[in-house]
Chains A and B, each alone.
Chain A
Amino acid sequence: SQKIEQNSEALNIQEGKTATLTCNYTNYSPAYLQWYRQDPGRGPVFLLLIRENEKEKRKERLKVTFDTTLKQSLFHITASQPADSATYLCALLSSNTGKLIFGQGTTLQVKP
Chain B
Amino acid sequence: EAQVTQNPRYLITVTGKKLTVTCSQNMNHEYMSWYRQDPGLGLRQIYYSMNVEVTDKGDVPEGYKVSRKEKRNFPLILESPSPNQTSLYFCASRPGQGRYEQYFGPGTRLTVT
- Binary CB contact string for chain B from 26 to 42 against chain A (1 if under 8 A, 0 otherwise): 00000001010000111
B104 close to A34 (CB less than 8 A): no
Question: What size tier do the contact residues of chain B reach?
Answer: 20 to 34
Segment touching A, from B11-19, B77-85, B95-103: B95-103
A45 close to B42 (CB less than 8 A): no
B100 close to A49 (CB less than 8 A): yes
- A-B CB proximity, top 7 nearest: A43-B104, A104-B42, A102-B43, A46-B101, A44-B104, A102-B42, A43-B90
Q: Which chain A residues have a beta carbon within 8 Å of chain B's beta carbons?
A: 32, 34, 36, 41-46, 49, 89, 93, 99-105
Q: Which chain B residues have a beta carbon within 8 Å of chain A's beta carbons?
A: 4, 33, 35, 40-45, 48, 58-59, 90, 92, 100-107
